[in-house]
Structure 1
């Protein structure tokens, strides 16, 4: 009887394993499963909703306009992969690598970097091109997006806790209610970005470019604004308790009922 049970258990286990293998689908030569490895595949516009691709290596892929809603991309290596226009609503990109090494990335940042005395990026800079991607509600905890091009990107409600966005370009991006706590935003550009009700607690915004940014109801508690430019930024009802301001430019900023670093409320300037 015991021998029979052992055989039965082995048989059932084998069936489960085979079932798992059978369920892993292939899309244009790329097996969609965790820990997979795909290179130079064109999945432009493909439906990859809910795909489980954590810890996968997806180098030099074309994922433009792909539907990756709810996909599990934790710790995935997406270096040199094109995600422009992809829908990553609710996707989990915790710890994902999104570097894109190009000469253009270096050139694109050269003007801003020189103007703000940014560190040298020799021999090249990382800069994932994610223009127009939809990261609404996505989990980007700890993601490395240094030098990324995130112009006009949808990041409303996204979790970017502890992410690296050094020198990233978020001009015109929607970061409403996004969690940017403890995020490295040194030299990042937020020109005309929407940061309404965003959590910037303990974020490093040193030398960040926040010209005309909307920070209404944002709470950059204990954030570092050393050398940051807040020209014409809207800080209405923003809570800046404990924030650090040194140097930079705040000309024309709106401070209506903003809470200053020392806890006082102002409508003039902190």
Structure 2
């Protein structure tokens, strides 16, 4: 089985070669990107736009996603443990089965997000907005 193929349709300054652990992708437009299974542990994605991105089974452990836009993103079974999602916007995001343990979710907006079976153990949810969030 080969390496996953990534599709980044909205930012010509970012290529598939830029998708790796500890990458500096702060402020980039990754909206509607196909990043299934991406290994981005420790990357800086602060203030990035990942709206509508497919990040299923991605390794986002320890990633800085502060102030990021993740509206309608699919993060099913993604590893987000110890990630910084402070002030991130996750309206209608799918986080089914995601590992958010020990993540910083301070002031994150999860309006209408699906967090079914997500692991939130040890996560800081201070002032997080969980309006109409699904957790079955």
Question: What's the TM-score once normalised by structure 2's chain length?
Answer: 0.87
Q: Which residue of 2 aligns with 1:151?
A: 76
1:169 aligns with 2:98: no
- Computed over aligned residues only, the root mean square deviation of the Cα atoms, in angstroms, reads 2.3
Tell me the equivalent position of 1:184: 109
Determine the structure 1 residue equivalent to 2:5: 44
Pick the aligned partner of 1:73 from 17, 25, 41: 25
Within-5 A mapping of 1:4-23: none
> Whole-Å Cα distance in 1 between the matches of residues 117 and 33 of structure 2?
27
Normalized per residue, the structure richer in helix is 1
- Is 1:84–2:9 an aligned residue pair? no
* Larger Cα-atom Rg: 1
- Aligned-residue offset at 1:59: 7.7
Q: 1:191 to 1:94 in 2, by over 3 A?
A: same
- Paired residue total: 130
Corresponding residue for residue 134 of structure 2: 209
**Contact 1:185–1:206 (8 Å) recurs in 2:** yes
Decide which of 50, 55, 73 is 1:98's aligned counterpart.
50
* Higher share in strand: 1
Which aligned segments of 4 or more residues in structure 1 are displaced greater than 3 angstroms? 58-61
The 8 Å contact of residues 62 and 80 in structure 2, kept in 1 or not, is answered as: yes
Counterparts of 2:13 and 2:70, CA distance in 1 = 16
Q: Distance in 2 between matches of 1:132 and 1:210?
A: 19
Contact 1:59 1:80 (C-alpha < 8 Å) held by counterparts: no
Instruction: In structure 2, list runs of 5 or more residues that go unmatched.
Output: none
2:120 equivalent among 185, 189, 195: 195
For residues 158 and 94 of structure 1, the distance between their equivalents in structure 2, rounded to whole angstroms, comes to 11
Separation in 2, partners of 1:58, 1:139: 22
Q: Deviations over 1:105-135 (max 9, x none)?
A: xxxxxxxxxxxxxxxxxxxxxx211101110
Task: Work out whether residues 60 and 80 of structure 1, in 8 Å CA contact, stay in contact via their aligned partners in 2.
Answer: no
Q: CA deviation at 1:83?
A: 1.1
Counterpart position of 1:124:
none
